[in-house]
Amino acid sequence: MTAFTHVPRRSLHHRPLHRRLALVGAVAAGGLLLAGCGGNDDTKGMDHTGAKESTAASEATASSTAGTFNDADVTFAQMMIPHHEQALEMARLADDRASNARIKSLAGQIEKAQDPEIVTLKSWLKEWGEPEKSSGAPSDGMPGMDHDSDGMDGMKGMDHGSGGKSGMGGMMSEQDMRKLEAAKGPAFDRAFASMMIDHHKGAIDMAKDEKKNGRNAKAKKLADDVVKNQSTEVTTLRTLLDRL
């Protein structure tokens, strides 16, 4: 057993006053020292909850901003889908009608770029809870939607006039599309280049409007890509048209 030394209860009170004061001071100083050390240890191992919450809030705000949208975003997606679909119809005609290798190559490039963009635009509208067609969009006869092998029958009765009722600049009319379908060889190459220039210019105008008035970050990024890529293609088409 541990030895226990009995200290008389009154021994402390019988000590001189200066010794009692010194002892109290030493105890108090020791307590402060321990408190200071404890504070340092807590800082080293502490979970900076406030900082983490601030970071999480910032990330949540950024994510929320990226997911927000406005009417301009919805209109851009709704209009660009049929606009791209008509471009695909035009590009697919080049496969067995174009005679110029550059025209065929550019048509394939248009298909490769715009087909995935249509999928993306449709997914955004679904995510936003918005229909794929606006009240001002063309009817179901739009090129690119359930055509026969020639891709033209579904266009009967449509009015695509450039910048016309559909509100989409650069859209080809039924007559324009039939003219392109009927052409072959150099005649097709020239018609394709001329029509696609106008078609691209309409898409570029729509994309610029989205960049200016849209709110959704992803939609604005796609619009920026449309402006850059299709502007480059317009330059190429103009060069080709001068040589055809």
The 10s digit of each residue's pLDDT in 49-81 is 555 555 554 554 444 445 799 999 999 999 999
pLDDT of residue 140: 44
- CA dist., res. 50 & res. 46, Å (int): 11
Is the CB of residue 137 less than 8 Å from the CB of residue 79?
Answer: yes
**Nearest residue to 215 (alpha-carbon basis) of 102, 81, 74:** 74
Delineate the domains of the chain, giving CATH numbers in brackets: 67-153+161-243 (1.20.1260.10)
CA 198 distance to own-chain centroid: 26
Diameter of the chain measured on Cα atoms: 122
77: CB partners within 8 A, 6+ apart: 121, 122, 124, 125, 130, 219
Scan for tokens 């009995």, then name that residue: 6
State the CB neighbour count (10 A cutoff) for residue 168.
24
Lowest-confidence region among 14-18, 125-129, 148-152: 148-152
pLDDT of residue 143: 39
**Nearest residue to 67 (alpha-carbon basis) of 131, 134, 127:** 127
The structure tokens listed for 183 are: 């052409």
State the CB neighbour count (10 A cutoff) for residue 2.
3
The structure tokens listed for 229 are: 């890529």
The structure tokens listed for 120 are: 């993306």
Q: Evaluate if residue 11 carries a pLDDT over 70.
A: no
pLDDT of residue 150: 40
- CA dist., res. 211 & res. 220, Å (int): 5
Assign 147 a pLDDT band (cuts: 50, 70, 90): very low
The phi and psi torsions of 140 (rounded to 5 degrees) equal -65, -10
